[in-house]
Amino acid sequence: MKVHKKALIITYYWPPAGGPGVQRWLKFAKYLPEFGIVPIVYCPENPSYPIIDNSLENEVSEGITVLKQPIKEPYALANLLSKKSSKQISSGVIPKQKKQTFIQKLMLYIRGNFFIPDARKNWVKPSVSFLSEYISKHKIDTIITTGPPHSLHLIGLQLKEKHNISWLADFRDPWTTIGYHKQLKLTKSSSEKHKNLESKVLQTADHIIVTSANTKKEFVLKTKQPITVITNGYDSHQIERPEKDSKFTIAHIGSLLSERNPKMLWEAMSELVNENRTFSEAFQLHFIGLVSDEVLQTIQQYGLSNHVQRLGYVSHDEAIMAQMSSRVLLLVEIDSEDTKVIIPGKLFEYMASDTPILAVGPKDSDVETILKTTNTGQYFYYNQKQAIKSQILSYFEAYNTNSLSVNAIGLQQYSRKALTKTLSDVLKDSL
């Protein structure tokens, strides 16, 4: 296909950044040329990524133009106060109010009220200056900003006002309604500033992209600009499928924050361990990625520590291997109205792993809908301990008879290539 349009992708997360934030536009950039779009990536030269995965640099498309400019971030200064707290807050791990230290409370107050919309705000002005010249010289057809960090949308806003260029704003998460936003100890004035900036971005961008149907419902009330849902997805890979674990392993892959601590789930597992000797001998709970101290303490209280194996952060390829080798995959979301819109990027790789998913979260979430329509797992609410216990036992019985499997339906719509086709159509319509 003849390549005829240039899209400038403005993103904070790019390899060697690890975690889910980098995957979305890494994969879009991979497939866009197949649909007539040349991607050009703009990202920081010296970012403070909370997670590093050098293996992802091998997935950057050969020949792609990647522009980098220095960024000044406050986390280096924050490290002088508390390196641990700085890293936790930058990665989204915010302790509960009652357990926050004075330093943590101070850092959250400063982060929320002095860095609006976020700690990368100082990158906006130099980026607009650099990209203005680049856009003029290289005849860019459209710009794409992806957040969080939502300060990157302010780069798009200023470039739009300066060059009247086509602009697509991609929201991987909501802005003012995301859960951690409420924990930033915002003053009334700061809260209004966030809302005003959000409103200006939503009303100025030519097209809004969101990752969930519930986020679209929220944004429809805030803007008349067109909004398209393009979820995250899964990609094809060359990893040979490993054998399933010999033990009955339930694995959680990714960050498990303090608020994602479903006590009734740990209680259900504890009861099965105490009531069923065969289950106790076979059961293992694997955590791959960052786990908050509070979650670990709760698990210990329920007597599950001897069944826990913590593997820490692993490369993306190793995470895929773990997804395929585990017996059951665990997905946990905060029990909140705000989190109904959150669809973890790992969900789609979970779905493609041929491993049953056990999910816990709020009622009427997008995750619940996707699991039901694809037949890839079971979804429960926080008040359904007995039902969760029964489901785990059912999975265990299937494991014992070597019949634990998944019969997925309609996964192709979530492939990265299919999603990029939708994106390319949006881009062409916006030009």
d(CA 195, CA 181): 11
Residue 226 preceded by cis peptide, ω within 30: no
Look at residue 13 in the predicted model and tell me its pLDDT: 97
Residue 366, Cβ density class (10 Å: 0-12 exposed, 13-18 middle, ≥19 buried): buried
Q: Three-class SS of residue 283? A: strand
| Phi/psi of residue 355, nearest 5 degrees | -125, 130
What pLDDT, in 10s, does the model give residues 182-201? 667 788 998 899 999 999 99
Provide DSSP, 205-261. SSEEEESSHHHHHHHHTT--S-EEE----B----PPPPPPPSSEEEEEES-B-TT--
d(CA 312, CA 314): 6
Q: Which of 65, 55, 67, 56 is nearest to 24 (CA)?
A: 56
Residue 69, Cβ density class (10 Å: 0-12 exposed, 13-18 middle, ≥19 buried): middle
What pLDDT, in 10s, does the model give residues 211-257? 999 999 999 999 999 999 999 999 987 788 999 999 999 999 998 88
> Which CATH number applies to 248-411?
3.40.50.2000
Give the pairing of strands 227-229 and 308-310: unpaired
Look at residue 329 in the predicted model and tell me its pLDDT: 98
Question: Which CATH superfamily includes the segment(s) 5-72+116-233+416-430?
Answer: Glycogen Phosphorylase B; (3.40.50.2000)
Q: Domain-by-domain residue ranges, the chain?
A: 5-72+116-233+416-430, 248-411
Give the pairing of strands 328-332 and 248-253: parallel
Structure tokens at 33: 């040329």
Provide DSSP, 124-171. HHHHHHHHHHHHHHHT--EEEEEESSTHHHHHHHHHHHHH--EEEEEE
Torsion of CA 309, 360, 324, 257, to 10 degrees: -50
In this chain, the answer to whether the domains covering 5-72+116-233+416-430 and 248-411 adopt an identical fold is yes
- Bridge partners (DSSP) listed for residue 415: 234
Digit-by-digit pLDDT tens for the chain (431 residues) are: 455 799 999 999 999 998 888 999 999 999 999 999 999 999 999 998 888 999 899 999 999 999 999 998 875 544 433 444 444 444 444 455 555 666 666 777 777 778 899 989 999 999 999 999 999 999 999 999 999 999 999 999 999 999 999 999 999 999 998 766 666 778 899 889 999 999 999 999 999 999 999 999 999 999 999 999 999 999 987 788 999 999 999 999 998 888 889 999 999 999 999 999 999 999 999 999 989 999 999 999 999 999 999 998 888 889 999 999 999 999 999 998 888 998 998 999 999 999 999 999 999 999 999 999 999 999 999 999 999 999 999 999 999 999 999 999 999 999 999 999 999 999 988 77
